[in-house]
Structure 1
Amino acid sequence: MPNRQIFGLVLLGVMVWLGFVVVKPFLTPLVWAAILAYVTGPYHVRIRRVCGNRPSLAATIATLVLMVVLVVPVSFLLIRLQSELADAYRDLSTKYTSQPLVLPKVVTNIPILGPALDEAVTQVWNDPELRKQQVKEWLEPWVRELAGIIGQIGRTFAQLAIMTVTLFFFYRDGDRVLEQIRGGLRKVAGEPADQYFNAVGDTTQAVVFGLIVSALAQGLIAGIGYAFIGVGPPILLGALTAVTALVPFLGTVAVWGPIGLWLLFSDRIGTGFALLAWGTFIVNPTDNILKPLLISNATDVPLVIVLFGVMGGLLAFGLVGLFLGPLILAVLFAIWRQWLAEDGDSSRSSGFGSKQ
């Protein structure tokens, strides 16, 4: 390789690294804007046709529509979350320090275990001074977390503003950006780059859309259950349920499970069983139906890849990694299968993760 090419590659690598350092503080809203622009791309194309193929006007309308549909409800939820977090803290800090805990008879009547639990609760929890000290120890970490969450809400509004501005430019200039990426792939991979690009596009849309719709559906259904049954702040609990719905193996049971058990131990037997039944038979099956329908059936990507992607992405990139992780693994899987298909290796391409 000539020295001039080596120098060019080194210079390109240095500039890419410097560019990453510059945009790193804004990486999260940029990624969200790119994901939203790509997923809602077909709707933007329709708007652009109605506007007579005027890119700036179409991008403005598409951005405003998405703000009304997505950003405004999210902003409302963030404001409500801040209020409900404060209310929940006040309830915890006052209610459980002044009220003793009485186990229901269903629990105390259990042979051997019931009397032991009742005695432990009476000696520990129902001692007023000890109860106040215990509640204080439990709440202090949550107070710090609450302050951090409230501060994060303010930063989230700033990120929403950056994401909205970026979304406009992605809508307006996205076609040119994608064509340049396609051209770069052609230089690296040759003619098969177009097939890779199409496979990546289909996979991206299905994975992101499937994860978002499945999580929002579970959060909404769970929130309706919380409000109907009369448990806690429903918007806060519904939002937490939607977030946990993205985490494999843990899932929504991490929210409604402990609440249901607490209701049972608080002698609200009917309410507790109602919430546990709602989560078990209504909320959880929603994920089992929607996620395979929207992801696996649409792209032929095994759900195990999505699950590992979610866990690894969360550890590597934080909250946005819930989408980036499975997207990266799913795209790699799609490129792998496309590469095998080019070589005509039907025996391997019809194996793991492919339709029979």
Structure 2
Amino acid sequence: MYAKLETRTFLALLIGVSLAFVFLMKPFFGPIFWAVAIALIFHPVQQLLVRKLGQRPNVNALITLCICMFIVVIPVLVLVTSLVAEGVALYQQIQSGEIRPGEYIDRVNQSFPAIQAFLAQFDISFAELRDRAVSIFVGGSQFLGKQALGVGQNTFQFFLGLALMVYLAFFLLRDGHALVELIIKALPLGDERERLLFAKFAEVTRATVKGNLLIAIIQGALGGLIFWILGISGALLWGVVMAIVSLLPAVGAALVWVPAAIYLAAVGDVIEAVVLTAFGVVVIGLADNLLRPVLVGRDTKLPDYIVLLSTLGGIVMFGINGFVMGPLVAALFMAFWGIFIREFSEEAHRPPATVDDESQEPGREAGDDVR
């Protein structure tokens, strides 16, 4: 009885200390998560270096991390810096009155009066819709301006998080396999189940990060290119915005280029509007429709509608990290239920034990002599 009390007390303290540690690490959730993602994505590169250079953990991890820095981290920093600069310029133009979103919407309404008549059939006020659109546009520009100011004021915190991510990624690349084995040994789920769940975690993380980011880069680059060719101001800014919204399956970059095409048609630039529409549907749209199922859905083994819903839910719950966390939670949900259905259905269909089997002593095989 006393031994059971000791065990329960120890387990209660273990859970309490573990929860305290989780809350302690909560401020660093972003750097920790992306360090894990980097270690998972670049693990094949490290394995290649191991085969080429031999078992040199520190050297292999350092080379892998340098490759990651040149391929991912530095380009992202340059892109974010450009986005902030373009966002500040847009915010200043709106504040000075050079850009008036309300006038653009009014020109669309004057050129296409059927839009207002169509909305009236559903008791939707065009004036109210216009005011809301202007509010969203101005609010978005203010958000970019505040973010730019926040980045400038919190430069130390930003680079601290970046340094922490790189530091953790180095040790995860070097010691990740041993850490996973330690976790498998500690968790009381059964080694086979734990290895399956860790494999699913790694698979989904690689697929969503590589797939979604690659699709976002492609669509953003294509969108920015066509905007630049057509002479639309702020092509770099809108290209980055298209890259960000393309993280949303199904709708994605169309949230940017469709209104732009409508406005071009409204101001009389019909050829530019047709070119942008055709390019958006055929090139940008096909890049999403063809690449996303291949890069994301196939590797995660999730239906397209689950990928869409889990991505939207993840972004709402976890912010920008949700485009990975959402599908990851959905994949782990399906993996847990798959294990449950497989194991318990097998147990349910297992033939019942016979009377002779039940009468045997534990650990005694049939046919053993009773001594």
TM range (shorter): 0.7 to 0.9
User: Are the equivalent residues in 1 in contact too, given 2:109–2:115 (CA < 8 A)?
Assistant: no
CA gap 1:106/1:21 in 2 versus in 1, 3 angstroms:
closer
2:353 maps to none
| 1:146 is aligned to 2:144 | yes
Q: Counterparts of 1:24-103 in structure 2 under 5 Å?
A: 24-92=26-94, 93-96=96-99, 103=107
Q: Is the 8 A contact 1:264 1:272 kept in 2?
A: yes
Change (3 A) 1:309 1:156: farther
Please say which structure displays the higher CA radius of gyration: 2
Tell me if the contact between 2:91 and 2:142 (Cα under 8 Å) persists in the aligned partners. no
Q: Is the 8 A contact 1:196 1:338 kept in 2?
A: no
Most deviating of 312-321 and 197-206: 197-206
The residue type equivalent to 2:111 in the other structure is V
Structure 1: how far apart are the matches of 2:109 and 2:138?
32
- 1:244-323 to 2 correspondence within 5 Å? 244-323=245-324
Query: CA 1:281–1:60 in 2, change beyond 3 Å: closer, same or farther?
Result: same
Partners in 2 of 1:104 and 1:242 — Cα distance? 25
Q: CA shift at 1:152, angstroms?
A: 4.6
Aligned to 2:179: 177
What is the CA-CA distance between 1:10 and the residue it aligns to? Answer: 1.3
Whether the 8 Å CA contact 2:35–2:165 is kept in 1: the answer is yes
Following TM superposition, by how much is the alpha carbon of 1:86 offset from its aligned partner in structure 2, in angstroms?
Answer: 2.2
* Cα-Cα RMSD: 3.4
**Cα distance change on mapping 1:105 and 1:296 into 2, 3 Å:** closer
CA distance 1:141–1:297, change in 2 (3 Å): closer
Counterpart of 2:194? 193
Q: Which ranges of structure 2 fall in alignment gaps of 5 or more residues?
A: 118-126, 347-371
Go from structure 1 to structure 2 and tell me whether the alpha carbon gap of 1:292 and 1:55 turns closer, same or farther (over 3 Å shift). Answer: same
Report the Cα offset of residue 236 of structure 1.
1.8
Measure how far apart 1:262 and its partner are. 2.1
Q: Does the 8 Å contact 2:314/2:323 carry over to 1?
A: yes
Instruction: Report deviation, 1:273.
Output: 2.5
**Alignment of 1:166 onto 2:191:** no
1:213 maps to 2:214 = yes
| Contact kept? 2:248, 2:312, Cα under 8 Å | yes
Residues in 2 aligned to 1:143 and 1:190: alpha-carbon distance in whole angstroms: 51
Aligned to 1:107: 111
Tell me, what secondary structure is at the counterpart of 2:268? coil
| Alignment equivalent of 2:17, drawn from 15, 18, 26 | 15
1:57 and 1:149 mapped to 2: Cα distance?
38
Structure 1 residues without counterparts, runs of 5 or longer: 114-123, 125-133, 346-356
Match of 1:231, SS state, is coil
CA contact 1:315–1:321 (8 Å) conserved in 2:
yes
SS in 2 for 1:62: helix
Matched-pair contact (CA < 8 Å) for 1:312–1:325: yes
CA distance in 1: counterparts of 2:92 and 2:114, whole angstroms: 34
Q: Are 1:182 and 1:194, in contact at CA under 8 Å, matched by a contact in 2? A: yes
Seen in structure 2, the aligned counterparts of structure 1 residues 42 and 268 have a Cα distance that, compared at 3 Å, is same
1:305–1:330 CA contact under 8 A, matched in 2: no
The aligned residue for residue 352 of structure 1 is: none
Paired residues of 2:242 and 2:253 also in contact (CA < 8 A)? yes
What letter corresponds to residue 4 of structure 1 in structure 2?
E
| Distance (Å, rounded) in 1 between the aligned partners of 2:232 and 2:11 | 60
Question: Structure 2: how far apart are the matches of 1:198 and 1:16?
Answer: 23
Q: How many residues matched?
A: 327
Q: Within 2, Cα distance between the matches of 1:227 and 1:201?
A: 38
What one-letter code is carried by the residue in structure 2 that aligns with 1:107?
S
Q: Could you tell me whether the CA contact under 8 Å between 1:208 and 1:327 is conserved in 2?
A: no
The 1:202/1:108 distance shift into structure 2, 3 A limit, reads: closer
Provide closer, same or farther for how the CA distance between residues 142 and 308 of structure 1 changes in structure 2, counting only shifts above 3 A: closer
Larger mean CA deviation between 170-179 and 220-229 belongs to 220-229
Deviation at 1:67, TM superposition (A): 0.7
Structure 1 residues 260 and 159: alpha-carbon distance in aligned structure 2, compared to 1, 3 A threshold: farther
Please report the TM-score for the alignment, with normalisation by the length of structure 1.
Answer: 0.80
Q: Deviations over 1:174-204 (max 9, x none)?
A: 111111122234x322544334433443343
CA contact (8 A) 1:77 1:235 kept: no
| Cα pair 1:104 1:267 within 8 Å, conserved | no
